[in-house]
Amino acid sequence: MRRILFILLIFQLIIKIKSSKDFIEDVAFIKLGSFHGLDNKGSEYKKTFFIPRHFRTSWVNSRSICKSYGFDIASFETLQEANAVMSFCKNHSDSLDYWTYVGGISLKARSTKNWYWVNSGRKISFEIPFARNAPDFAGSDEWCLALGPKATFDFNDVNCNGYEFKFICQRINFML
């Protein structure tokens, strides 16, 4: 009888875990935090930000991985949202790398203003709080955006293909 009850209990737990929408998030990702705001059309949204628990990749591959889990690479509508995510990163710095990728890309070398979000194609609408001496486009191949170094999580330009680091994914829910 005990064995049957134990098997039933395990079966219920498996069903509960598999039906949980948070299962992938709990196993593969760490939740950084959530931000409420208004998009460029005035619609209220809630973004929840995640970092992978156990894997790293290049900036180029990070969006594909986010999308394969039902997320997208992180983008920020406002400076307030960017500051909130930088604060989330500081609170989880033990789980992050020296650089942490986000979804911005530049179309013009040495520019602090010509940066775009890859998930929308829109120009970044706020003045990016770059780290000191950034962007520097070192080696003429730093066209992608990351937060770092780990101590401050300011914005910096990084090589899109050269290194494997963690990255930030987002899930957006629009409020009705």
Q: What pLDDT, on the 0 to 100 scale, is given for residue 66? A: 96
| CB atoms inside a 10 Å sphere around CB 6 | 10
Residue 15 belongs to some domain of the structure: no
Determine the Cα–Cα distance for residues 105 and 62; give it in Å rounded to an integer: 13
Residue 8 belongs to some domain of the structure: no
Q: What pLDDT, on the 0 to 100 scale, is given for residue 11? A: 46
Q: What pLDDT, on the 0 to 100 scale, is given for residue 171? A: 97
Q: Angle CA(37)–CA(155)–CA(92) in degrees, nearest 5?
A: 70
What's the whole-model pTM score?
Answer: 0.85
Residue 13 belongs to some domain of the structure: no
Please return the burial class of 115, using the count of CB atoms within 10 Å of its CB with bins 0-12, 13-18 and 19+.
buried
Q: What pLDDT, on the 0 to 100 scale, is given for residue 8? A: 42
Residues near 63 by Cβ (< 8 Å), separated by ≥ 6?
72, 73, 103, 118, 119
Determine the Cα–Cα distance for residues 96 and 122; give it in Å rounded to an integer: 27
Distance of alpha carbon 102 from the chain centroid = 6
Q: What pLDDT, on the 0 to 100 scale, is given for residue 19? A: 45
Residue 60 belongs to some domain of the structure: yes
Q: What pLDDT, on the 0 to 100 scale, is given for residue 80? A: 96
Residue 112 belongs to some domain of the structure: yes
Which pair of tokens denotes residue 115? 């940066």
User: Which residues in the chain land under pLDDT 70?
Assistant: 1-26
Residue 17 belongs to some domain of the structure: no
Domain count, the chain: 1
Residue 12 belongs to some domain of the structure: no
Q: In terms of residue numbers, what domain contains 75? A: 22-174
Q: What pLDDT, on the 0 to 100 scale, is given for residue 9? A: 46
Kindly report the CATH number assigned to the domain that includes residue 69. Answer: 3.10.100.10
Q: What pLDDT, on the 0 to 100 scale, is given for residue 141? A: 85
Among 67, 130, 80, 84, which residue's Cα sits nearest to residue 104?
A: 130
Q: How far apart are the two ends of the chain, measured CA to CA in Å? A: 50
Residue 1 belongs to some domain of the structure: no
